[in-house]
Amino acid sequence: MSMQGVSGEDRSTLSKDESKRLRRRSFALLLDIVKPHRRRFIATMVVVVFSVGMQVAGPALIAAGIDRGLPAAQQGDFTPLWLIVGGFLITGFGAAALLSVYTKWSIAISQDIMHELRLRIFAHTQRLSMSFHEKYTSGRIIARQTSDISTLGELLNGGVGNLVQGVLFMAFTTGALLLLDPWSALPLVGAILPVVAATWWFSIASRREFRNSRTFSARLIIQFVESMAGIRAVKSFRREAINEETYAEKVEDYREATRRTIAIFGIYDPMLKVIGSITVAVVLLAGAFRVLEGGIEIGVLLAAVLYTRNFFSPIENLAMFYNSFQSASAALEKISGVLEETPALEDPAQPEAFSSTTGAVSFSGVSFSYNDGVEVLPRFDLDIPGGQIVALVGATGAGKSTVAKLVARFYDPSEGTVTLDGRELPTIADQDLRRSVVLVTQEAYMFSGSVSENIRLGKPDASFAEVQKAARAVGAHDFIEALPEGYDTDVNKRGGRLSAGQRQLVSFARAFIADPRVLILDEATASLDIPSERLVQHGLKTLLADRTAIIIAHRLSTVDIADRILVMENGRIVEDGSPAELRSGEGRFASLHSAWMDSLV
Ligand SMILES: Nc1ncnc2c1ncn2[C@@H]1O[C@H](COP(=O)(O)OP(=O)(O)O)[C@@H](O)[C@H]1O
Ligand SMILES: [Mg+2]
């Protein structure tokens, strides 16, 4: 499966300009989402500055306690000691209280940001056109909504806070040390070089592993989703063993990448500890000599040792931030990639209200190809007067469904125009078009909910009486009444599971209640057995009465209710006439029809 393409899944193949563009796009998205929260963001930063400041005051207060408080106490004056100990407690409690405020606020901001992103991704992907969904698999969309969002969440919830706190902590610690005893800061300066070198190595070594582990985990999700979505095919072709094998390979890749990441930590962590210990040792030793010489007081030495030791504690977090920043920016690139996709079908800028009256459909000079560029319809012309019932027949792959989808505007033609009532489809607002044209396919998808809710999909404000009337009209009422809870039966619960034929009838009721001017049935009776189809024949007449209809069907019995038959071959109409004319002729329909009649006896 290809992981490449649309949204920068594989950055190794990207040019510099492209990487830059991706980064700019991610940043713009981030800015856009953070902007409404900027006041709270600034307030949170102020809180963290004070919290870290109070934490860093600790060792200095300890030094004061030892060097000032203690001698005074030896003289019988306990006041300085009490004051200093009191100050120590107050800063300690203050730092803790502010930390709790900070945590609460920052989590609230990051949750708001993720909430917003989740909604945006969902709404946006739903709006994108069919051609997007054909090239962007559902597994990848799910990876965007799950693992990418949670990676970003990790950064926002922990990473950013660690970065800000860590940097402030190190800066304040260095500042305090310089104020207290600049000479003791010297070993720290000496430690900078090895720390930077170790961190540099770490970030380079871990970057690839982190990226790998993220890519591998996304692949796991994708393969999982695709195997489960295609579970019927998996079972009927006994693909389980092969799938398990490929999945096992992917799981192994993931484990290996994670193992390597952890191995890198296993080197980096001890390196930091060693550098830290040496630095502390140098401060202690040099300080001890200076205490002996009377250069500094013992409390100052203690504080210098504490500061030096503390200085190293956030470094690992900072290196981690770098990683989680890397992963999150990769995730953000992909998310912003999806959000950047524009629906291929633009709504008109200033749509005039439209409601189809005649239902006349016309193709003129239409050429069309799917994403792959192979021309499916070459210069297609067709006029369907309002109210006509047209049957479209022809071999599989002839282009019948493509014609249907162009009328429903799932796609726009590459050349030429499709019109409804003489208006070009792109000039009609999407919601108006949906009200005027309904396409019913064999798929007959049922959403979770009751049967009546599924019918009401065609007209959300329909009354129960209307729902029943629609079901009666298409011959679905009887079987619905026989369900455990009738119209209220949940289609996902035991006993509510509908057969393919029953789902088809529900989808007819849905179309009936929507009452469109133009109705297209694409193999919509294919799941029905012959008796049910007979039943539906009657319903179909009611369903099709007074509208323009395009029926695509294999069973030629369905075709008999048509006023006109079009035979398609390789994207062209090769025969056009009334059922009687074509049956009695010598053409393709006549031979199809006689073959069909033969098959019945
Ligand atoms: N989503 C798609 N992407 C690329 N090619 C497609 C797609 N759908 C259909 N085609 C191609 O377009 C041609 C016509 O398909 P279709 O209109 O579905 O035929 P029919 O409905 O008559 O069986 C076929 O060659 C098919 O391979
Ligand atoms: Mg088809």
pLDDT in tens, 504-539: 889 999 999 999 999 999 988 777 777 777 767 777
Ligand 2: distance of its center to the CA of 399 in Å? 7
Within 6 Å (CB) of ligand 1, which residues are found?
Answer: 134, 370, 372, 376, 394, 396-402
Specify the CATH superfamily of domain 361-600: P-loop containing nucleotide triphosphate hydrolases (3.40.50.300)
- What's the pLDDT at 14? 61
Of the residues 133, 396, 401, which should be mutated to test ligand 1's pocket, given the most ligand atoms within 8 Å of the CB? 401
DSSP string, 319-339: HHHHHHHHHHHHHHHHHHHHH
- What's the pLDDT at 535? 67
Report field, pTM of the whole predicted structure over 0.85: no
pLDDT > 70? residue 67: yes
Q: How many CA atoms lie less than 13 Å away from 595 in the CB half-sphere?
A: 8
198-204 contacts, C-beta under 8 A, 24 or more apart: 198/268, 198/271, 198/272, 198/275, 199/268, 199/315, 199/318, 199/319, 201/268, 202/264, 202/267, 202/268, 202/319, 203/319, 203/322, 203/323
The pair of three-digit structure tokens given for residue 328, joined into one six-digit string: 């999150």
- What's the pLDDT at 601? 63
**CA nearest to 144, candidates 221, 216, 202, 66:** 221
Confidence at 11, pLDDT banded by 50, 70, 90 = very low
pLDDT > 90? residue 364: yes
Of the residues 134, 135, 370, 371, which should be mutated to test ligand 1's pocket, given the most ligand atoms within 8 Å of the CB? 370
Ligand 1: distance of its center to the CA of 571 in Å? 10
What single-letter DSSP state applies at residue 490?
A: B
Ligand 1: distance of its center to the CA of 399 in Å? 6
What residue's CA is closest to ligand 1, atom 26?
397
Q: Spell out the residues 6+ positions from residue 518 whose beta carbon is closer than 8 angstroms to its own.
A: 356, 359, 361, 407, 420, 436, 437, 438, 547, 548, 549, 550
CA distance 394 to 531: 24
pLDDT in tens, 424-435: 999 998 888 988
Residue type, 458: G
Ligand 1: distance of its center to the CA of 305 in Å? 75
- What's the pLDDT at 6? 38
Domain residue spans of the chain: 21-340, 361-600
Of the residues 367, 402, 411, which should be mutated to test ligand 1's pocket, given the most ligand atoms within 8 Å of the CB? 402
CATH number, domain 21-340: 1.20.1560.10
What residue's CA is closest to ligand 1, atom 16?
399
